[in-house]
Amino acid sequence: MPELPEVETIRRDLEKEVIGRRVKTVEVKGKRSVRRHKTGPEFRDRLEGRKMTSVRRAGKYLLVGLDDDDVLVIHLGMSGQLLRAKGPKDPLATHTHVIITFTQGGQLRFVDPRTFGEMFVTTADELETVAELSHLGFDPLEEVMSWARFGQLLADRHTPLKTLLMDQKFVAGIGNIYSDEILFAAGLRYDRGSDSLSAQEIRRLYRAMVETLSEAVKYRGSSLADEQYRDLFGAIGDYQSQHQVYDREGKACRRCRNSIVRVKVNGRSAFLCDHCQI
């Protein structure tokens, strides 16, 4: 699933490509992708004729502002892609479920093989009642907090660190990949209790979280072996070349040369260096 760095990369691309553009037509090929609307035509009618005025991110969600205060909400789910096309003559990818054509030319296409992602239009007021958005925790790239405040939030939760970092109600946007990379950078094990950290470890964790996510955005996100994640222009990310532990089971730790190990955490794989992380 695309995480904060991948979604932030797409947000920045969209900001350059769609702001000021007016929607000419909307074609819905897969109703599941617009499932919060009763019908595909209902979704279409909420978008056609509207100008895109802003693009922001809330955790793993993209929020595209429209010219009458409505908002187009986009969640990529497990396998979703937003792709820019020059026009109808560009080859159509398999599993393209929504095609937005602009009056100025060009298209925005929503591709999603597994159909866990979605698009829907809501009002700015109703946006606050969308459960997935109303309960999001702090944004580690947008919200700066003191180490003391961060430490207090950790101490209040009494939760294993990896589980807590992936809890969207605690911190928005971090998933399986970046929780492992952050914990390695901080020198902390996945199963350390959030209330067991020293002041120095709290500082290391906060710094590792901000620096790892910022660096991943700089490299335009991570594309794994399936290359499922692609940016707005169809290019893969490059942060996977910088991964220290994720998906590197059996390979040498780049810090100490011991082997990276994989363990199961809540049914998912976690990667770590047993020597560097305590």
**Mind listing the pLDDT tens digit of every residue in the chain (278 residues)?**
899 999 999 999 999 999 999 999 999 999 999 999 999 999 999 999 999 999 999 999 999 999 989 999 999 999 999 999 999 999 999 999 999 999 999 999 999 999 999 999 999 999 989 999 999 999 999 999 999 999 999 999 999 999 999 999 999 999 999 999 999 999 999 999 999 999 999 999 999 999 999 999 999 999 998 889 999 999 999 999 999 999 999 999 999 999 999 999 999 999 999 999 99
Can 230 be counted among the known catalytic residues? no
Q: Which of 36, 38, 218, 268 does the annotation list as catalytic?
A: 268
8 phi and psi angles, rounded to 5 deg: -65, -35
d(CA 177, CA 181): 7
Rounded CA separation 133/59 (Å): 8
Rounded distance between C-alpha atoms, residue 155 and residue 178, angstroms: 21
What residues contact residue 175 under an 8 Å CB cut-off, 6+ apart?
1, 3, 60, 166
Residues 6+ apart with CB under 8 A from 114: 77, 78, 79
* DSSP conformational letter for 29: S
Q: Distance between CA 154 and CA 41 in Å, rounded?
A: 46
pLDDT score, position 217: 98
Is 3 catalytic? The answer is: yes
d(CA 15, CA 207): 28
**Per-domain boundaries in the chain:** 4-134, 147-272
Residue 128 confidence (pLDDT): 87
pLDDT score at 1: 83
The pLDDT assigned to 30 comes to: 93
Distance of CA 146 to the CA centre of its chain: 24
CA distances from 134 to 119, 138, 172, 245 (A): 17, 11, 11, 32
Give pLDDT, residue 261. Answer: 98
What's the distance, CA 20 to chain centroid? 24
> Is 60 annotated as catalytic?
yes
Question: Mind giving me the DSSP string for 73-121?
Answer: EEE-TTT-EEEEESSTTSPPPTTEEEEEEETTS-EEEEE-SS---EEEE
Distance CA 17, CA 30 (A): 24
SS3 214: helix
The dihedral formed by the CA atoms of 194, 195, 196 and 201, expressed in degrees to the nearest 10: 60
Question: What's the pLDDT score for residue 215?
Answer: 98
Rounded (10°) angle between helices 4-17 and 199-218: 40
Of residues 2, 5, 21, 230, which has the active-site annotation?
Answer: 2
Note the pLDDT of residue 248. Answer: 98
Judge whether 268 counts as a catalytic residue: yes
Are the CB atoms for 187 and 177 separated by under 8 Å?
A: no
Architecture of domain 147-272: Orthogonal Bundle (1.10)
Selected from 3.20.190.10, 3.30.70.3270, 3.40.50.620, 1.10.3720.10, the CATH number assigned to the domain covering 4-134 reads 3.20.190.10
Q: One of 3, 6, 118, 201 is an active-site residue; which one?
A: 3
Catalytic pick among 50, 60, 109, 192: 60
